[in-house]
Amino acid sequence: MTTLLLALPALAEENAKPPQYRVGDSLAGVELTTLDGKPAKVSAYAGKTVALVFLASFSRTAREVAQEVEKRLKPKLPENAVVAYVHVESPVAAATFRKEQALTGDSLLDPRADLLTKLGHKSVPAVVVLDSKSVVRLSEVSF
């Protein structure tokens, strides 16, 4: 657990706080960052169902989940649904992980696990499904 807390400093700081976002809450105002450092608002996905898949390269389970998402989930998604990977690590680690896992689609950064902890999660992988209005409809650790 020490390694996880060092890698995800927000988790150590946020342990006692209740989730800021729950099922039924909107994430439209939330902003993450792309791998190249540009801001990326969750509201940019408006009109689509979005699965935010939180991952980190240090998690063997997250690597397995990434492969399952790519091979089994993505081909079955309806046209208006997308998967966005949210990397809970540095941009360099995320870019390397993305390349090694051959991830397709968007990759976003939450390097201090701020959003992850605001959703009440303390580990990866985690998935958050948003409806077409960016409202949380499912929030689960692993899957």
Q: For position 7, what pLDDT does the model report?
A: 43
The DSSP H or E segment spanning 87 is strand 81-87
SS3 per-residue string spanning 1-58:
CHHHHHHCHHHHHHCCCCCCCCCCCECCCCEEEECCCCEEEHHHHCCCEEEEEEECCC
Instruction: Indicate the range of 38-52, 57-71, 85-99, 106-120 predicted with least confidence.
Output: 57-71
Per-residue pLDDT tens for 69-102? 999 999 998 989 999 999 999 999 999 999 999 9
Q: For position 138, what pLDDT does the model report?
A: 94
Asked if residue 50 has pLDDT above 90, the reply is yes
